[in-house]
Chains A and B, each alone.
Chain A
Amino acid sequence: MEQAAAVIEASGLVKELGGRRVVDDVAFSASRGECVALVGANGAGKSTLLRLLVRLVEPDAGSIRIHGVDAVGASAAALRDLRRRTGFVFQHHDLVGRASTLTNVVHGALGRVPWWRAFAHGVAPAALRAEAMACLSRVGLPHVATQRADRLSGGQSQRVAIARALMQQPELLLADEPAASLDPAAGEEVMGVFRALARAEGMTVVFTSHHVSHALGYADRVVGLRAGRVELDAPTASIDAGTVHALYS
């Protein structure tokens, strides 16, 4: 991939946790519209790497540029803006359970509008509410807008989390094991949403998964980690399941 098109670009990333290099001199980049799978055995450092990218975990060393902006040296305000432009979807249900689905999606705008306009859908301006409904439609769930989030199924709540991330108007979407806590069918559905976002809307998507089939089926490129080091970085078309499986041995 050309350097110029990179939406996110990191190099020399190091993170030590519990006296061990969990991420060890990792270089990683993703370009516009690309869907990248981060694979590797349990404990390989996938989650840590993803969190390092938006400094939810602080790196010990290395450089990160997101949208061309230096994320490591960023001020608190600049970092907030970077996070605003980067959607993050976690493995576990992380919606506000007692709030409505629509409120949860409107929350996605909290990084770019004042808090009193987006802490609940009831206080949001009409344009923001309409935008949130559009985001819900993009994940196929406009009909659950008024439902309380803790009444949604696992797959639905993960898609609402994606809708909330879309509400950030992100150029980059990071997802940590987005399908791991879902049943297989719901997992496929969620992965399909990610691929559609990358293909149809030019969004850059980076997801971690321990399902080889998800990596091969939905990503354009597979990056494999083993013990915190990059062992594989290749277009999906050029590798087979055996290559990926080898990472787990």
Chain B
Amino acid sequence: MPSIPEMPGPDAPARFERPGALAFAIGVAAAAFLVTAFRATDVSIGELLRGGPSALRILGEMFPPSLDRLGPVAGSLLQTFQMAVAGTAIGCALSLPLAILATRHLSPHPVLHHATRVVVAICRTVPDLVWALLFVAIVGLGPFAGVLAIAVDKIGFCGRFFAEAMEEADRRPQEALRALGAGRPAIILGAILPAATPGLINASLFSLEKATRSSVVLGLVGAGGIGIELQVSMDMFRYDEAITIILAILALVVAVEQCSAWLRRRAM
């Protein structure tokens, strides 16, 4: 090693950057709000510990799980999954044209592009439980309301991710088709959809997983599915039935996730 003459190097920077006045004020305000948040919501370790015995009691009553209502439970579990499938199918089908309108370089007009983005964003930001309440009011109690709620929620999700997949599609083949005189539909079907297929499948499968989970909850507001069974069992303190339902839901969700992971690997 050649020796390097020792020279005093420049000073190292300060270990911590001193925050500006504004950042400091924001930090203090955020910390203060966090404190009020804990207070206002009665966050208390003691309360949680006092709940311990009843947790143990409920847990004890859960076992052994009751198989008394296995038939009806299986039936509503199937209905829950059917709601998820139907809602996802409708949602994805509607998302595709919306996503095309929401993709900047495919949209026929900038106004349409922005308007579609707003619609999709509204579908996404309003929680699915709120959609379910709305649709129960519109089409009445039952699984159809749940299907509609899922469909709208999926438009919010897929509309955005489909558009992203299409925006990311390789531009060179699109340019090549434009250069040979192809029109917009030809470019979308011939070049963009094939390139975006993995993204579309990925988003659709992810939607189905999400829909399966949320369709469980939709039953709580009367939009069909297994949620109502769970609520009845809990209300009647039949924790042994409740655990059966919870395990059934868990099995369904895991099964759907496994299947979709497998399909996803195949589609890439």
Contacts and interface: CB of A to CB of B under 8 A. Distances in A.
Interface string A70-93: 000000000011011001101011
B251 interface: no
Interface string B179-192: 11111011001110
Contacts of B189: 115, 119-120
A111 interface: yes
Contacts of A164: 176, 180
How many residues of A sit at the interface, in one of the four size bands?
Answer: 20 to 34
B66 interface: no
A37 interface: no
Interface stretch (B39-47, B126-134, B143-151, B167-175): B167-175
Nearest to A55: B179
A110 interface: yes
B194 interface: yes
Contact of B183 (A88, A115, A168): A115
Contact of B173 (A56, A81, A94, A119): A94
Contact of B191 (A96, A111, A161): A96
Contacts of B181: 80-81, 83-84, 110-112, 168
Interface in A91-112: 92-99, 103, 107-108, 110-112
Interface string A194-207: 00000000000000
A6 interface: no
Contact of B182 (A87, A115, A120): A115
B186 A118 contact: yes
B94 interface: no
A95 B173 contact: yes
Contacts of B195: 96-98
A54 interface: yes
Given A96-B194, A115-B186, A88 B179 contact: yes
A107 B172 contact: no
B89 interface: no
Contacts of A103: 190
Contacts of B183: 80, 110, 115
Interface centre among B173, B179, B197 (most CB of A within 10 A): B179
A120 B190 contact: yes
A219 interface: no
Contacts of B179: 54, 56, 83, 88
A7 interface: no
B177 interface: yes
Given A90-B175, A90-B176, A110-B190, 20 more contacts: A81-B181, A83-B178, A83-B180, A87-B180, A92-B172, A93-B172, A94-B172, A94-B175, A94-B176, A96-B195, A97-B170, A97-B173, A97-B195, A98-B197, A107-B182, A107-B191, A111-B182, A115-B190, A119-B190, A120-B189
Interface of A: 54, 56, 80-81, 83-84, 87-88, 90, 92-99, 103, 107-108, 110-112, 115, 118-120, 161, 164-165, 168
27 contacts: A56-B175, A80-B181, A83-B180, A88-B176, A88-B179, A88-B180, A90-B175, A92-B172, A94-B173, A96-B190, A97-B170, A97-B194, A97-B195, A98-B194, A98-B195, A103-B190, A107-B182, A107-B186, A107-B191, A110-B186, A110-B190, A112-B181, A115-B186, A118-B190, A119-B186, A161-B176, A168-B180
